[in-house]
Amino acid sequence: MSSSKNIVLKSGIWVYFLLLIFEGALRKWVLPELSNQLLLIRDPLVLYLFLIANRNKVIFFNRYLFYVFFIAIIGFISSIFLGHGNLIVSVYGFRIFAIHLPMIFLIGKVFTEEDVLKIGNAMLWISIPMAALIIAQFYSPQTAWVNRGLGGDLNGAGFSGAMGYKRPPGTFSFTSGTTSFFSLLAVFVFYFWVRTEKINRGLLVAATISLIVSIPFSISRTLLFEVIFSFLFLIIGVGFLRSENRKSAYLISGLALITIALTFLDFFTIGIEVFFTRFENANQAEGGIESVFLDRYLGGLIDALVHSNEQPFLGYGLGYGTNVGSFLITSQRTFLVSEGEWGRLIGELGPLLGIGMILIRVTMTIKLMSWSWKALQKEQVLPWAMLSITLLVLPQGGWAQPTSLGFCTLISGLVIASFSSEKKEMSLA
């Protein structure tokens, strides 16, 4: 592949990344009248990148994609003739597998470890104004411009929180985007604290403050869980490397000192109070922390499998379990199948094909776990750091919502790309 075409593909991936971050801003503040059309703004870009890759013989198709396309095509046909019968909804559901899932492997093929670190550096820079934005949204009324909803909705984009405060969406269309952004940021912040020679120290401190501040002001328990998981994951990983033990101590000490310093600021303590009020109220309603974790990450998965025989053999049809699909079919935004990802897959595709798609995602995850562990033994910390967030989004991350789908695509592609030169010799096929 020529260097010029390689630049085009890499530039396209960067545009994908930037559109993922700022798509909601376009839909809320810049072009609100085109909010519905901008929902799919990344789709034509991905198709264009596939065309460029095909012209330059960039091979990223593998056996995983073969099985995915096989299942998706059967699901598409059954959607039309045996399922809900809505062509637009079927196409919307089919694009998840035909466009964004292959994008994972294109990112992994084209990007290198250096490119992943550049994305991380950009994340650190973006996190500073992003944290400032969610603080402004947190303290502003829902009628304020910063809280304007999709299409310029004056009712605001904030979601239920506590003590009269709403969960801020940042530049995203929904609050889940804020959680996804700062969860990915946490991976890079923790990694750069271990590899401080690869980043500007001042930027790292500023981004660390942004990350810590984002947890209470996001009012998101999921973000707290994912940040803690990534932190412990990296600490455990580098603990196996003798040369990294001292840097792990620096990481823990640095984060602790910054957190302690922030607790002396009034604006931060208010955010903490709101966060813990939300935490306590939600835990009481849902049965405590253990129940929340088991239900959200494990319970929903088990429940989807246990009740899979209650779904039609070929499901209700692709796209039926998405908010867009439910709106086009019923004129209401609701969960027609399941709020959980595994339940949605089984509901749309049926038990046989749905479980097959789940197994593909789980198998991919196991493969990446194996690669990351081997890379860690060779003093390559980045893949192990990236694996932490991948474990949370690839097996059961929600693909029905475009922003969540975009982050899953980006993160999974970056973890493959992070395997430096050895990744070129490895193959998910």
For residue 262, give the nearest of 225, 341, 208 by alpha carbon.
208
Contacts 24+ apart (CB under 8 A), 20-26: 20/403, 20/406, 20/407, 20/410, 21/126, 21/171, 21/181, 22/171, 23/172, 23/173, 23/402, 23/403, 23/406, 24/150, 24/169, 24/170, 24/171, 24/172, 24/173, 24/174, 24/177, 24/403, 25/171
**156 to each of 147, 218, 245, 253, 404, how far by Cα in Å?**
5, 15, 46, 39, 21
**H-type alpha helices, 242-340:** 245-262, 266-286, 289-293, 300-306, 323-330
Of residues 295, 321, 50, 27, the one with CA closest to residue 177: 27
Name residue 159's beta-bridge partners. Answer: 167
The residue extents of the domains of the chain are 3-425
Residue in 93, 98, 1, 91 with CA at minimum distance from that of residue 53: 1
CA distance 181 to 91: 28
In which element (H, E) is residue 346 found?
helix 341-377
The gap from C-alpha 275 to its chain's centroid, in whole angstroms, comes to 22
Q: Of all helices (H) and strands (E), which one includes residue 162?
A: strand 159-162
What sign results for the dihedral spanned by CA atoms 71, 177, 237, 112?
Answer: positive
| Greatest alpha-carbon span in the chain | 62
Token digits of residue 77: 């046909």
Residue length of the chain: 429
Q: What is the pLDDT along the chain (429 residues), one digit of tens a residue?
A: 556 668 899 999 999 999 999 999 999 999 989 988 898 999 999 999 999 999 988 888 889 999 999 999 999 999 999 999 999 999 999 999 999 999 999 999 999 999 999 999 999 999 999 999 999 998 888 888 888 888 777 776 666 655 667 889 899 988 889 999 999 999 999 999 888 889 999 999 999 999 999 988 888 888 888 898 998 888 888 777 666 555 666 666 667 677 767 666 666 777 777 877 776 666 555 555 554 555 555 545 666 666 556 678 888 999 998 888 888 888 777 777 777 888 889 999 999 999 999 999 999 999 999 999 988 888 888 999 999 999 989 998 889 889 999 999 999 999 999 986 555 444 555
Task: Give pTM, 2 decimals.
Answer: 0.90
- What's the Rg (C-alpha) of the chain? 21
Coil/strand/helix, residue 165? strand
Nearest to 340 by CA among 366, 306, 368: 306
How far apart are alpha carbons 72 and 76 in whole angstroms?
Answer: 6
Cβ count within 10 A of residue 114: 9
